[in-house]
Structure 1
Amino acid sequence: MSLINVSNLSFSYDSSYDPIFENVSFQIDTDWKLGFTGRNGRGKTTFMNLLLGKYEYSGTISASVSFEYFPYHVEHKEHLTIDVIEEIYPEYVHWQIVRELNLLQVSEDVLYQPFELLSSGEQTKVMLAALFIKENRFLLIDEPTNHLDMHARKLVSEYLSKKKGFILVSHDRSFLDHCVDHILSINKTNIEIQKGNFSTWWENKKRQDEFELASDEKLRKDIKRLTDSARRTGGWSHEVEKSKNGTRNSGSKVDKGYIGHKAAKMMKRSKNLEQRQQSAIEEKSKLLKNIESAESLQIFQLDYHKKQLVELENVSISYGLKKVCDNLSFVIEKGDRIALSGKNGSGKSSILKLICGEEMQYTGQFSRDNQLKISYVSQNTSHLQGSLTDYAISSGIDESLFKSILRKLDFSRLQFEKDISTYSGGQKKKVLIAKSLSEHAHLYVWDEPLNFIDVISRMQIEELLLGYAPTLLFVEHDRAFCENVATKIVELDGNQET
């Protein structure tokens, strides 16, 4: 066991107007299984890069261990997996990597296959195996779940629950609950560490927010009283100093030495008092600022003239000779919120694309009214660039509504001035979701919409879908989200509807 000490850490990007961290101090035990949470853009990945020494910063970070970051960058994906592992860790021991792969339920055979031919889930597990055979390292695991299906997430969470000595960034509540024993949270005005899993931290957070909201009126009155008092205090010495150049009421000459001495004492006293009052104001103001905003969102669904929107009967989709799904049958009716479930590669995204009108090679019966208006959220965000204003215009959506939704999803006004290409992964996904929420549609089709999106925003989106009950077809591997939102689940592996 050892400690990682962070003291008075401050950092901002050269191209940014606002600091990411300002005079932050805390300690981390290297034996902890630390879940790292905070809203998108708060600096989780940036903090990991600071630990890795990638950026210059002010303050100090001291540790007796080295840091190792996941996911690894694999330069030669065409190489055999065993060679990729050797590139990651030249000193690896073969039996150790096999042991870790067995724990992750990955066959040893994958070591002798080209890395690029492995599924995204297998690639993730291979890199995690390479990560955990390194010794005397504190591991920085950045969003490992984004390419894992629900089954793989459960498996990896069980694997991590038996490990220690890591920071884990994940926005999947169920995943975090199963494998961490502390939470590191980046809040609006501070960074805090609590013992327990995500659910424990969230309950404490809600209680704290409720207490602060209940104290809101009193705090605001206290701040106003202290501000008024500080303003009066600041004026005392100023008035005394002015009297040096005046005269007494009796008309006799003023003793400027006496008045100057009195003014100096008064000035010192007032400045000390003013500083204490200002500190009290800042401390009380900080309480009000740390409440996370999670305002309600809205959705603008068009009414459809038929009960049934889409029907698939014995549909099979192929890419060339490869069949990705076989004999799939289900119906989308008004008010349905259907989750497509299945392992990676089972054809979920292909089904969504077929329904959205993309040309696909398929057999079976597929019907969809040409008048049906669909709002689609894709997995891919690489095309996003330019200003939010230009994006709203090119998308044909109301700019004010679009930006209002982004504000509710924790975008600061400073973000509105930046190019979308500079946003974090979670912020880019929020742009796509805000666009979809701004569109008037009969059916919303979302393909893994929550990748990279912070937990609080996920809860907002959950509340929206439960409150407005739009017709929705979606693919998502966040277990809690699916359980809370879906009215039906279509399982592609067995083609069963529940």
Structure 2
Amino acid sequence: MSQINISQLTFNYENSYHKIFEDVSFTIDSNWKLGFIGRNGRGKTTFLKLLMGLYDYSGVISSSVNFEYFPFDVPDPSLSTIFIVDSIFDDYEPWELDKELSLLKLNPEVLNRSFETLSRGEQTKILLVALFLKPNSFLLIDEPTNHLDLDGRMIVSDYLNKKSGFILVSHDRNFLDGCIDHVLSINKTDIDIQKGNYSSWAFNKQRQDQFELNQHKKLKQEIGHLKTAAKRTENWSQAIEKSKKGQRVSGLRPDRGHIGHQSAKMMKRSKSLEKRQEKNIQEKEKLLKNIDWSASLQLKPQRYKKERLISINHLSLFYDERQIIKNFNLTINQGDRIALIGKNGSGKSSLLKLLLGEPLTFQGDLIRGSQLTLSHIPQETGFLKGDLRRYAQDQNLNESLFKTILQKLGFSREQFEKDLASFSEGQKKKVYLARSLCQPAHLYLWDEPLNHIDVLSRIQIETLLLQTPPTMVFIEHDRSFIDQVATKIIELS
């Protein structure tokens, strides 16, 4: 057992005045299974890279263990998978490798295939196997679930539960609950470590937020009283000043001799009281900023003229001349929130594209209502570039509403000035989310909308979809989100 010590860590990116971390200190046990939680853009990946020594910083990071970052870079994916494993670490016994493959339910046959022919989920599992083979290593696992389906997430969560010594960045609540014993959270004003899983952390956070909300109400009243007192002091000070100059106050002629003796002393007292009141107000207003607000979002779905929007009967769908869906039936009625689930490659995204009207090859009946307005969130984010204002104009969005939604999802005003191409994957996904929320539509088609999206934003979106329920079809692998939002679950096999 050893410890990782972070002492007075301060870091900001070059040409940025905003500090990602400022005078941060805490200690991590190298045997912990640590979940890492925080808003997109708060610095989770940055912190992992600081541990790896990739950036210059002030302060001290000390540890007796080696850090290994996941996902490991694979320069030549055309090489055999066993060669990729050995390039990461080759000093292992064959039975050790077989054991790790078995835990992740991987057929040893995959070792003989080129790495690029494996599915993204298989690649994720292989890299985890290779890294956990290395002794005396503390793994920094950055969002491993993005290419895992529901079954894959359960398998990897069970696998990590049998391991120790890692920091795991993930936004999937069920996944975290299955494999961590501590939570490291980057909050709005501090960094906190708690023992337990995600659910215990969320329970404690809810209690803390409620406490701060109550404090917020109480402090607002106290600040109001202080400001009233400060105003009285200001009026008193002005009255004294008028008296000293020989002006009438409330119709009375002042006693110049008496005031000449007392005015300096009283002015000094009033100024001192003003300063104390102003300092008290500022200190209390700072306390109001400790809660990490999850502002409510808005959505204005349109009601279609008929109850039924789309019907599909005996559909067979083809991709590159390969049949991926056979004899499929689906009816989308007003108010349905349909979750499409299934293993990667089962045709979920292709079905969504067909609903969008893309020219895919199919057989069977697809009846789409006339004048149906759709809003779509794509799975990939690599096409975004340019500035937010131009993007809003190109998409015919209300720029003010668009930016307000992004702020509620955790964007800072500084972020609005940056090029979209420089955004993190989570921030890019939020741009697509904000665009869709700005678009009144009869039907919302969302393809993995929560990829890279932080936990707090997921909860905001869940709350919105339950309070203002749209008609939608979505693909998602977050079990908690599906259970909360979906009115129907359709599994493709």
What is the TM-score when the length of structure 2 is the normalising length? 0.88
Q: Hey, what's the Cα distance between the residues in 1 that align with 2:374 and 2:218? A: 48
Q: Hey, what's the Cα distance between the residues in 1 that align with 2:5 and 2:222? A: 35
Displacement of 1:87: 2.1
Aligned partner of 1:357 in structure 2 is: 357
Q: Hey, what's the Cα distance between the residues in 2 that align with 1:68 and 1:118? A: 23
Aligned partner of 1:478 in structure 2 is: 478
Name the amino acid aligned to 1:193.
Answer: I
Higher mean Cα deviation, 32-41 or 291-300? 291-300
% identical equivalent positions: 56
Aligned partner of 1:435 in structure 2 is: 435
Displacement of 1:219: 3.1
Name the amino acid aligned to 1:124.
Answer: T
Aligned partner of 1:131 in structure 2 is: 131
Q: Hey, what's the Cα distance between the residues in 2 that align with 1:224 and 1:424? A: 41
Aligned partner of 2:372 in structure 1 is: 372
Q: Hey, what's the Cα distance between the residues in 1 that align with 2:474 and 2:332? A: 12
Higher mean Cα deviation, 360-369 or 453-462? 360-369
In structure 2, list runs of 5 or more residues that go unmatched: 234-255, 258-267
Whether the 8 Å contact between 1:293 and 1:410 is mirrored in structure 2 is: no
Alignment partner of 1:11 is 2:48: no
Aligned partner of 1:119 in structure 2 is: 119
Whether the 8 Å contact between 1:189 and 1:286 is mirrored in structure 2 is: no
Cα deviation, 1:262-302, whole Å, max 9, x if unaligned, reads xxxx9xxx9xxx99x96x87765553212122122111212
Displacement of 1:223: 6.3
Whether the 8 Å contact between 1:86 and 1:92 is mirrored in structure 2 is: no
Q: Hey, what's the Cα distance between the residues in 2 that align with 1:154 and 1:281? A: 50
In structure 1, list runs of 5 or more residues that go unmatched: 233-248, 251-265, 494-498
State the secondary structure of the residue aligned to 2:135: coil
Aligned partner of 1:196 in structure 2 is: 196
Q: Hey, what's the Cα distance between the residues in 2 that align with 1:36 and 1:14? A: 25
Cα deviation, 1:296-317, whole Å, max 9, x if unaligned, reads 2111212211211111112122
Whether the 8 Å contact between 1:385 and 1:419 is mirrored in structure 2 is: yes
State the secondary structure of the residue aligned to 2:178: helix
Whether the 8 Å contact between 2:101 and 2:107 is mirrored in structure 1 is: yes
Q: CA RMSD in A?
A: 2.9
* Closer/same/farther in 2, CA of residues 5 and 331 from structure 1, 3 Å limit: same
Q: Hey, what's the Cα distance between the residues in 2 that align with 1:139 and 1:51? A: 11
Q: Hey, what's the Cα distance between the residues in 2 that align with 1:393 and 1:341? A: 34
Cα deviation, 1:239-273, whole Å, max 9, x if unaligned, reads xxxxxxxxxx99xxxxxxxxxxxxxxx9xxx9xxx
Name the amino acid aligned to 1:176.
Answer: L
Aligned partner of 2:394 in structure 1 is: 394
What is the TM-score when the length of structure 1 is the normalising length? 0.87
Q: Hey, what's the Cα distance between the residues in 1 that align with 2:331 and 2:94? A: 50
Q: Hey, what's the Cα distance between the residues in 2 that align with 1:26 and 1:318? A: 54
Aligned partner of 1:41 in structure 2 is: 41
Whether the 8 Å contact between 2:212 and 2:290 is mirrored in structure 1 is: no
Displacement of 1:485: 0.4
Q: Hey, what's the Cα distance between the residues in 2 that align with 1:283 and 1:61? A: 32
Whether the 8 Å contact between 1:11 and 1:19 is mirrored in structure 2 is: yes
Name the amino acid aligned to 2:436.
Answer: S
Q: Hey, what's the Cα distance between the residues in 2 that align with 1:305 and 1:381? A: 33
* Closer/same/farther in 2, CA of residues 339 and 217 from structure 1, 3 Å limit: closer
Whether the 8 Å contact between 1:38 and 1:185 is mirrored in structure 2 is: yes
Aligned partner of 2:55 in structure 1 is: 55
State the secondary structure of the residue aligned to 2:288: helix
Alignment partner of 1:404 is 2:404: yes
Q: Hey, what's the Cα distance between the residues in 2 that align with 1:21 and 1:368? A: 52
Aligned partner of 2:420 in structure 1 is: 420
Aligned partner of 1:235 in structure 2 is: none
Q: Hey, what's the Cα distance between the residues in 1 that align with 2:407 and 2:290? A: 16
Aligned partner of 1:146 in structure 2 is: 146
Name the amino acid aligned to 1:401.
Answer: L
State the secondary structure of the residue aligned to 2:128: helix
Higher mean Cα deviation, 103-112 or 361-370? 361-370
Q: Hey, what's the Cα distance between the residues in 2 that align with 1:96 and 1:226? A: 68
Aligned partner of 2:161 in structure 1 is: 161
Aligned partner of 2:292 in structure 1 is: 292
Displacement of 1:72: 1.0
Cα deviation, 1:429-483, whole Å, max 9, x if unaligned, reads 1100000010121100000000000111101101111111100000000000000
Displacement of 1:43: 0.3
Name the amino acid aligned to 2:326.
Answer: D
Q: Hey, what's the Cα distance between the residues in 1 that align with 2:226 and 2:7? A: 30
Whether the 8 Å contact between 2:143 and 2:452 is mirrored in structure 1 is: yes
Displacement of 1:225: 8.2
State the secondary structure of the residue aligned to 1:381: coil
Whether the 8 Å contact between 1:40 and 1:453 is mirrored in structure 2 is: yes
Q: Hey, what's the Cα distance between the residues in 1 that align with 2:324 and 2:87? A: 33
Q: Hey, what's the Cα distance between the residues in 2 that align with 1:87 and 1:163? A: 22
Displacement of 1:17: 3.5
